[in-house]
Structure formats: C-alpha cells, structure tokens
Amino acid sequence: MSEQADLAGRHVLVTGGCSGIGLAIVAALKAAGAGVAVFDRTIPDEFASTHPDVISIKGDVTDPARVRDGFGEAAAALGGLNCVVVNAGVSQNRPTLDLSFEDWRRVMSVNLDGAFLSCHEAGRLMAETGGGCIVLTASMYGLVAAPERLGYCVSKSGVVMMTKALAIEWASLGIRVNAIAPGYVLTPFVEDLVEQGRLDLPKLEKRTPMGRLIQPEEVADAACFLMSDRARAITGHIVAIDGGWSAYGYI
C-alpha cells in the first residue's frame, strides 16, 4: 500500500469484498486506517477468520430489500458510511449468437442493476449525513469494445455513464462519484483461467503497452486515492488502470 491515501476515521463498505479486486481494496483500506465492512453473496469461513476486524454482511446486490437492510447494518456497525465501493460484479465471455436472454439478464442484473441499487442506497444514506464518496468498479471493457463480451461491455459502459450522471447530480449534496476501470488483473480467478488455457497470458501481456498484467494492489491504491482528501476536487471521472490497454488503438 502506498502512502498516497490517508483514510483514518473513514467508514467504508465494499460490495463483493471477499475476493479478487474487492479483497485487495479491503486490505488497502485497512492499511490506510479505515473502518471496513463487506457486503457479499458469500462470506467464506477463511475470510471471517483472517479479517476479524472487518464487518461481514451477507447479501445479494440484486435484492433491493437486502441492499437497503445490509447497507443500514454496515452504517450502524461502523458508525456511519463515508465511502462505498460498488465492486460486486460478474464476468461473461461467450459468442453473442450463443448468448441466451437468461445469460444477458444475469450480467445486467448484477453489474448494472446491482450498481444502481448500491449507489441509490449509498447516496440516500450520505445525503442524510452531509455527503461522502462512491467508487464504482467499471472496466476497460466499459471504455473499449471486445468481441464475445457483449453483455459485459454493455453493462460496464452503463456503469461508466452511471458514474458521470450521479456525479453531476449529487455534487450539490457533497457526494463525489468516481469509477475505476481495471484491465486484466492478476487475480486468482484470472490465474485459474490461464492454467485452464482459456486466457493466453503472453498474448495479453504483448497487447498491453506496459507489457504485463495489473496487480490487484495497484487497483486498490487507485480506489483508495479516489476516496482520500487528495481527490476532494475529483468527481465524475473514470480512472483506467489497464497498463495503457484502452489507450492503444493500434493492433
């Protein structure tokens, strides 16, 4: 964790915080001095045992009632919510002609509806207490298109526009809204796909101008910066953390 973010005294809820990028953000928040709660569909036993100082709340971001109650539980346990990281999401990689309507609705439900419900509840709580900060996890595939990822690209581009629309609407309420847009991040999930032969690591590294995949901690550092006072004048921005992938239009 870099020294760029001081989040001592902040109360932060992270959706999808028990694995991957979310887990890295939780670790970075704790290192920066924040009080942290996670809201996730599954709370592994090992998470609770290795993170005893993190409030664990089980819930599905596609369930409006559970989002409302779970966010309320987090606020009560932490003593309020200054920041919410809207991170819960699912990936999808399938030829569009093989994509069923049920598959399409699943990715939209989690990535887009879940983001709306999370932002809506976070915004309501923050408006009542004088403001705060929301950071959404978009994707570089919300900024640039890719084949066989229609639902994922459309849902994440929706997160990008949601970020901008909420930022300008809620600025007067003292609520900043930004998003991070990770590229290929070397999480256990991605490492497993590489081992299965479903991702070509050398090809991905060659396509990335920096010549490597992104580390989860690098994404977490950017998220923490956006939640810090150093970003107090930043709202409505999408920060690509992709090693230059989305900027590189030549293949």
One-letter amino acid identity for 153? C
Using CA atoms, how far apart are residues 41 and 22, in angstroms rounded to an integer?
Answer: 13
What are the tokens at 146? 């890719």
> What is the C-alpha to C-alpha distance for residues 55 and 120, in angstroms, rounded to an integer?
21
What end-to-end distance do the CA atoms of the chain give, in Å?
A: 33
- Taking the CA atoms of residue 199, residue 201, residue 207 and residue 209 in that order, the dihedral angle to the nearest 10 degrees is 140
Assess contact for 136 and 119: CB atoms under 8 A.
yes
- Cα 223 to Cα 134: distance, rounded to the nearest angstrom: 10
Q: How many CB atoms lie within 10 A of CB 95?
A: 10
**What are the residue numbers of the active site?**
152
**Encoded tokens for 182:** 């990770």
Q: Is residue 190 within 8 Å of residue 213, measured between CB atoms? A: yes
Identify each DSSP E strand in the chain by its residue range: 11-15, 35-40, 55-58, 83-86, 132-137, 175-182, 238-241
Rounded-to-integer distance, Cα 241 and Cα 131, Å: 26
Could you tell me the two tokens for 134? 């929301």
